[in-house]
Structure 1
Amino acid sequence: MNLIPSPFYAIKGSKDGRTRLNHIYSLVPVNETQLFACGTDGLYLCDLVSRDIKKIKGTAALGIIDYVFKMQEDLWLICSRDGMYSYQPSKDILSKEILLKMYPEWKPYVNNYFNNTARSGSKIYWASEEQEGLLIWDPQQHTILQAKPGTTSSKGVTEGHIHNIKFDKEGFLWLLFDNSVAKYDVARDSVIKVLTYDHNGKGFNAGIFFDMYDDGSFLWFGTYGGGINGYNKKTGEWKYITEDDGLCNNAVYGILPGRDSIFWVSTNNGISRVNYKTEKCLNYFVEDGLHDNSFDEKGALFFDNELFFAGINGITIVDLENYYSSPVAFPVYIKKLEYIRGDKRNTLNDLQWNKIKLPPGTSAATIWLSAISYTSNRPRFSYKIKGFQDEYLPAGSKNKIELNALTYGDYEIKIRYLNEKGEFVEGAVGIDLKILPFWYQTWWFRMLVAIVALSTIIFIVRIIYISRLRKQRAVLEKQLAIQFERQRISAEMHDDIGAGLSGIRLLTEMTKGKVKDTPVSNEVEKIYESVGDISAKMKEVIWS
């Protein structure tokens, strides 16, 4: 739903459809209502009032037209891949000869081509699209000085291929190269500072510099792959605005001023409206009214309070007067939810989205988000899952959240979106997912398994204990039997042998008295003592 006219206007060709814009490189104003569009297949004159477009006769044969420069009302210089030409609109004449006749100083460079110019006083600075460096042309004096790296007249220029040249607010000319940018002092006629992309994590995020914007404090450079890099002119500190901050793409081509703390940038995938103070971005794409999502490095122009961005398939115009910010928040909602169980995809619609229970075996889910916008701005969502992520993740250009490798459990998904003021709004919508477990994944089943396992362990331990106890009892009973047998034998020995020895000892003692003072008395005494010793030792054996 779009209740306010779109501030974007796409020009892809003439109204009658006879002329189509293929790939536009750069745009140059002709007058208050017309501009030249330099394309890969010729030069086009675009009427901004009638929206009529016509191709300039003879320019298709020149190949790519990189740039045109206005010398007089009826004299233009055309930079093409076939070299430099003069163009007289009133006579519709293209000619190298007329150019060299009027400005013979161009003879050494008439077969070269350039992509941009900057004027300071009587001098015109030309940026080489090849490797020729910077040309400084004084048409009044009919002189051209070449500042080319590696020569004695380099003037400090570090690289030969210049993508763009731009003046800052102090009047210094900045040269944008592949691997560096250079600050050129037109008064000294020399480079006085070079900022280099040195891949060390400090300074530029990336190289290949296409455009620059001076906000008074920071110089903002558009890089190919590193987003927008801001350089503080006083302190030398750096700021970065990239895809991580909401920029639609890190390949930045053109930077044009908006209102207040806003600039607009064209990229390799859409246009971003950037607040360089808050570093927040609003993104626009072909669905919002752009002619295409792909733009070109030199196709940015601020003209008559409108922004022009050129690229593949035409031109996008941003009417700043018609650009609105909605005073109300987006009505945002969850459109539908899809989930995969096994090989089957299922869809849920028109439900109360606060709490959703999904069946066991759900392995993936996709949440589709939507919003009703009262302007042409497309809402941009991001999300995080509580307990799983600390930072919000972008939902992507299709506004969908894809969850993969899911297991049973609870998922509290927090969703926020970027409103038309560039502010994040949280809590407007959210969803709690609960994926149910299989029966063997439930807590009661796990408790039952634990109880059975514990009971089994106790049972096994009890069996082992009883077995050991029985073995110990058998050993003890055996020892007791042996002890009882020993006691029985000892008792019998005491009764039988002990009594016999006592009798022998008694008889021996009686015999001692009879044979006293006889030759055998000593032998009888020895028998008596031996019987006594034997009796004592037998007692020790029996009772030990």
Structure 2
Amino acid sequence: MHRTALILAYLFICVNCFSQQYPFVHYTPREGLVNNRARFIFQDSKGKLYIATYGGLSVYDGSRFMNYATNNGLAVDLVNDVVEMGEDSIWVLTNANKINYLIRGRLKEFHPADNFTPLTNQLLKCSNGYYYAIADDGFFRLEHKRFIKIEFPGLAKQLAKTFFQAAEIDNKLYILSNPDYKLAASNLLVFDLSRNKLLACDTNIKADQLFRLSAHELWVSTAKGLYFLDVKSNDVNPIQLRPIPDSWHVPKEPPKFILRDRQNSTWVATGKGVYKIAKTGQTTFFTTENGLPTKAQTSIFEDYENNIWFTNDLTGVCKLANSQLAYYPVLKPGHTPTDIFIRPSSDSVWMYDDFHRRVTLLRPDGQTEEWTNPNESLPYAQFVSANGQWLLSGKSIFRWNAVPNSKHYSLTLFYKDSLNPIGFISAITDGTGNLIIVSDKLVVVTANKILSEPVHYMADQVAVDKLNHIWVATRSDQLYCFEISGTANEPKLSLLRTFDKVVRGSPRSIVADQAGNVWIGTRDEGLYCVHFDGLNLRSWKQLTTVNGLSANFVNYLFCDKDNNIWACTPSGLDKIKIDNDHFLVENITKSNNLYLSILKIQETKQGNFWILTTAGIVTYSSLPQRTNDWKPRLAFSDVVISNAEQTAIPATHELSHNQNNLSFQLSAPTYIDEKQTRFSYLLEGIGNKNWSTPSTDASINFVNLPAGEYTLRAKAIFLHGLYPDIESSYSFTILPPWWQTWWFKLLVSIVVLGLALLGLRFYINRKLALQRVVLEKRRAIEQERTRIATDMHDDLGAGLSQIKFLSETIGLKKQQHLPIEEEISDIRTFSVEMIDKMGEIVWALN
């Protein structure tokens, strides 16, 4: 912290700042706040912020605002206090004789056992384990779901009412009361929590507010000034107040709010602005001139990530997200830097002002030197400090020299390329101090000699890697690698290799990192990281706005000493870290509510960054901001059935078949660049094994989910890299309709089986009956055939026997020559009879 103070003091002295702007992020009704008149902020154990206003309550989780007002069930819109009573139970105490509470995001009303609720201004949990209500109706202890009033024997009745604020110090409760709000200032009471006894009531202090800065430190604002409670106070004299010493650097204005942060800095809100008093005594003043939306604040709050929040009753809420960053629209009157340059391993900052032809040197000891040259007019000039100082303008390279004993500088033409159609665009120094310049050719100034090689098209930036190889990417998508070889007296610039179409998108910037990768920024395709094995291309990866870049147009690149890549874009500055082959993108300016076009960035030896923009200078300290170990947790903050009204999913997580349109709201509360949080999900149970594309949208919606058992896995990804990815899951079941349940299917199966058996039985019986009929018919036919056969046998046998007998008779008579006509006639008769009988038999058979 001491080092940070020294750095900030150095920056302040260096720039002689008249208009420093701090990166405040604003939250107003436009962003979703319920009301612009904010009173205070509370943060629960999960990290959510509860913003109490005069027009309701807003709950902010970094992704969205959930608002509660009278139309949502809140008793009244004026919120007096917010208290966390359990894991998922937040009490909201409004300016009414009612208490609301939030459970799983649903607003409900608390009903005491005796149905009595005091109008509570503050509810606080004390060291004895009880909750005490500081109320207009008196002083109460919450016990067994009822408010028990604590009487003060010996205290006049008119003094024992209208309590509005309290603070506990060393097992004693210091309470402010203003009977019926008729007094100009309040009385101060002291209540002993261990003995349940009133120790004192002072009506002469004329107190305004209490400020509990730590467990053993209480400040009291009175009509006479600001005092602190002496820790030597005892039962005999429990109220011993001492004036705040001047050595504490506390302003004399009446305080509106006081906060002690985790770095032991004291924040004092007054009617003129906010003072930050560091432990060292250094004071920083925040007001409307340097970014604070309004001078008067209603409260100051520090969240788990050490962000400082301010509430006011005009514009809502603002956050000082990053005290490492400062913005200077104007360094000082008459100074408009158009170029900055810092030599590697140096803390001196060179600035060139093209409009006023001024060169400024900011030294590490805080001293500033300036030189001007009113006779020279060099448009679009760049300043470079290599082996000497140089100024580039158009097609010319000048040596820059400070004129001794004066505040002027002189320029000596060193080299002019008359055939250069575009002029020199960018210049850097290599590891040996050589000056390297690029345009449509590469020019190296070494040992007062000029070396050059064509690159055949316009290039905007040049880079030098750890092997002192020179890399140039042209707008025609070609990549060149050069090296300086030879001797000191006979240096040589050689082309090592050319790569065609390595990237696309018309390169505009290039830098080489310490791992040997070459980064190329393009006009409209984002940023490429190209990996090499020696001079052989191995692979490449691309980053765009989808991965978190502020814009796909990267006009300048820089690699710091920690191997982070800084991308300058027209929409802001991005910091890219490489973590196990993953790229983590942090939006430095956008996350701090600075929307600037970034031109260039340079780093000092101490690790401080100077950033040139089209609208001033930004300074950034690389010192870590967070000092605690708090990490966000991913949770399903709201899960509803969205078929009709937004109905919460039951605790069993079982839904009917027609409750299959679901909406899930994710929450991963973090307020350090919360717009850099991405959410992804995977629904197990539908056969999909791919995670969704990471998005800033924290809501997940499903429509017409079929019956089944599901597990929704969600992931929060923090592109700035401050936290690892976190996951959470939510399991639920959509029950099938009754006609798809197992018992219904079993019943239907039994019925179908029974019907099948009945049908089979009927079929078999029918078939048997038919077979029986057929058999009976066959039997009747056989019997008829037998009868017919018997009749035929009898009739034919008898007829044939008669015919045989008559034939034998005819034979005997013929031997005896007797007449045979009678026998022949009988044979004829018998034959006719036999024929007739045969016809009858055939007819019977048919």
In 2, the alpha carbon distance for the partners of 1:469 and 1:26 equals 109
In 1, the alpha carbon distance for the partners of 2:577 and 2:331 equals 32
Counterpart in the other structure of 1:431 = 730
Counterpart in the other structure of 2:805 = 506
Counterpart in the other structure of 2:602 = 301
Q: 1:194 aligns with which of 498, 506, 509?
A: 498
Query: Residue 126 in 1 paired to residue 437 in 2?
Result: yes
Counterpart in the other structure of 1:152 = none
Asked whether the 8 Å contact 2:608–2:620 carries over to 1, the reply is: yes
**Identity of paired residues, percent?**
15
Asked whether the 8 Å contact 1:87–1:93 carries over to 2, the reply is: no
Q: 1:316 to 1:447 in 2, by over 3 A?
A: farther
Which amino acid counterpart does residue 498 of structure 2 have in structure 1? V
Asked whether the 8 Å contact 2:559–2:565 carries over to 1, the reply is: yes
1:403 Cα deviation after fit: 4.1
Q: Secondary structure at the match of 1:515?
A: helix
Counterpart in the other structure of 2:512 = 213
Which amino acid counterpart does residue 306 of structure 1 have in structure 2? N
Report the number of matched residues.
Answer: 495
Query: Residue 167 in 1 paired to residue 464 in 2?
Result: yes
Q: 1:117 aligns with which of 415, 427, 430?
A: 427
Tell me which moved more, 83-92 or 453-462.
83-92
Counterpart in the other structure of 1:367 = 665
Asked whether the 8 Å contact 1:10–1:289 carries over to 2, the reply is: no
Asked whether the 8 Å contact 2:519–2:530 carries over to 1, the reply is: yes
Q: 1:265 to 1:409 in 2, by over 3 A?
A: farther
Counterpart in the other structure of 1:201 = none
Q: 2:632 aligns with which of 327, 330, 352?
A: 330
Asked whether the 8 Å contact 1:115–1:164 carries over to 2, the reply is: yes
Counterpart in the other structure of 1:275 = 578
Counterpart in the other structure of 2:482 = 184
Within 5 Å, which residues of 2 pair with 1:140-539?
A: 147-148=453-454, 157=455, 159-178=456-475, 179-187=477-485, 188-197=492-501, 208=507, 210-216=509-515, 218-224=516-522, 225=525, 227-234=527-534, 236=536, 238=538, 240-242=540-542, 247-249=547-549, 251=552, 253=554, 255-258=557-560, 262-265=564-567, 271-279=574-582, 281=584, 283-284=586-587, 288-289=591-592, 291-292=594-595, 299-304=600-605, 305-308=607-610, 317-324=619-626, 327-341=629-643, 344=644, 346=646, 348=648, 355=653, 357=655, 360-372=658-670, 379-387=677-685, 388-403=687-702, 406-418=705-717, 424=724, 426=726, 429-448=728-747, 483-516=782-815
Asked whether the 8 Å contact 1:75–1:89 carries over to 2, the reply is: no
1:478 Cα deviation after fit: 5.6
Asked whether the 8 Å contact 1:6–1:322 carries over to 2, the reply is: no
Per-residue CA deviations over 1:56-115 (Å, capped at 9, x if unaligned) read: 999xx999x5855569999844559xx999999999999xxx98xx53853726873443
Tell me which moved more, 474-483 or 326-335.
474-483
What is the CA RMSD across the aligned residues, in angstroms? 5.9
Counterpart in the other structure of 1:6 = 322
In 2, the alpha carbon distance for the partners of 1:109 and 1:77 equals 16
Q: Secondary structure at the match of 2:806?
A: helix
Which amino acid counterpart does residue 302 of structure 1 have in structure 2? E
1:513 Cα deviation after fit: 2.8
Which amino acid counterpart does residue 165 of structure 1 have in structure 2? V
Q: 1:444 to 1:182 in 2, by over 3 A?
A: same
Q: TM-score, normalised by structure 1?
A: 0.66
Q: 1:239 to 1:480 in 2, by over 3 A?
A: same
Q: 1:259 to 1:189 in 2, by over 3 A?
A: closer
Which amino acid counterpart does residue 507 of structure 1 have in structure 2? L
Asked whether the 8 Å contact 1:337–1:365 carries over to 2, the reply is: yes
Q: Secondary structure at the match of 1:510?
A: helix
Asked whether the 8 Å contact 1:247–1:283 carries over to 2, the reply is: no
Asked whether the 8 Å contact 1:70–1:77 carries over to 2, the reply is: no
Q: 1:458 to 1:424 in 2, by over 3 A?
A: farther
In 2, the alpha carbon distance for the partners of 1:316 and 1:459 equals 90
1:285 Cα deviation after fit: 6.1
In 2, the alpha carbon distance for the partners of 1:375 and 1:122 equals 38
Which amino acid counterpart does residue 467 of structure 2 have in structure 1? E
Per-residue CA deviations over 1:112-140 (Å, capped at 9, x if unaligned) read: 34431134679643322xxx333456895
Which amino acid counterpart does residue 428 of structure 2 have in structure 1? A
1:3 Cα deviation after fit: 1.0
Which amino acid counterpart does residue 301 of structure 1 have in structure 2? Q
In 2, the alpha carbon distance for the partners of 1:259 and 1:84 equals 29
Q: 1:258 to 1:490 in 2, by over 3 A?
A: same
Tell me which moved more, 161-170 or 220-229.
220-229
Q: 2:418 aligns with which of 76, 95, 108?
A: 108
Asked whether the 8 Å contact 2:634–2:726 carries over to 1, the reply is: no
Q: 1:421 to 1:494 in 2, by over 3 A?
A: same
Q: 1:421 to 1:512 in 2, by over 3 A?
A: same
In 2, the alpha carbon distance for the partners of 1:162 and 1:251 equals 18
Which amino acid counterpart does residue 186 of structure 1 have in structure 2? I
Q: Secondary structure at the match of 1:366?
A: strand
Which amino acid counterpart does residue 320 of structure 1 have in structure 2? S
1:164 Cα deviation after fit: 1.5
In 1, the alpha carbon distance for the partners of 2:683 and 2:338 equals 44
Gaps of 5+ in 1: 51-55, 149-156, 199-203
Q: Secondary structure at the match of 2:531?
A: strand
1:412 Cα deviation after fit: 0.7
1:520 Cα deviation after fit: 9.1
Per-residue CA deviations over 1:163-187 (Å, capped at 9, x if unaligned) read: 3201112222111224232111233
In 1, the alpha carbon distance for the partners of 2:707 and 2:507 equals 48
1:319 Cα deviation after fit: 1.8
Per-residue CA deviations over 1:513-535 (Å, capped at 9, x if unaligned) read: 333375999xx99x99xx99x99
In 2, the alpha carbon distance for the partners of 1:228 and 1:291 equals 25
In 2, the alpha carbon distance for the partners of 1:20 and 1:497 equals 150
In 1, the alpha carbon distance for the partners of 2:646 and 2:326 equals 39
Gaps of 5+ in 2: 1-302, 308-320, 367-371, 486-491
Within 5 Å, which residues of 2 pair with 1:74-93?
A: 76-78=391-393
Asked whether the 8 Å contact 1:25–1:38 carries over to 2, the reply is: yes
In 2, the alpha carbon distance for the partners of 1:392 and 1:184 equals 43
Q: 1:139 to 1:374 in 2, by over 3 A?
A: closer
Which amino acid counterpart does residue 335 of structure 1 have in structure 2? S
Q: 1:457 to 1:48 in 2, by over 3 A?
A: farther
Which amino acid counterpart does residue 162 of structure 1 have in structure 2? A
Q: Secondary structure at the match of 1:274?
A: strand
Q: Secondary structure at the match of 2:797?
A: helix
The structure whose RCO (Cα within 8 Å, separation 6+) is larger is 1
Q: Secondary structure at the match of 2:459?
A: coil
1:160 Cα deviation after fit: 0.8
Q: 1:124 to 1:135 in 2, by over 3 A?
A: same
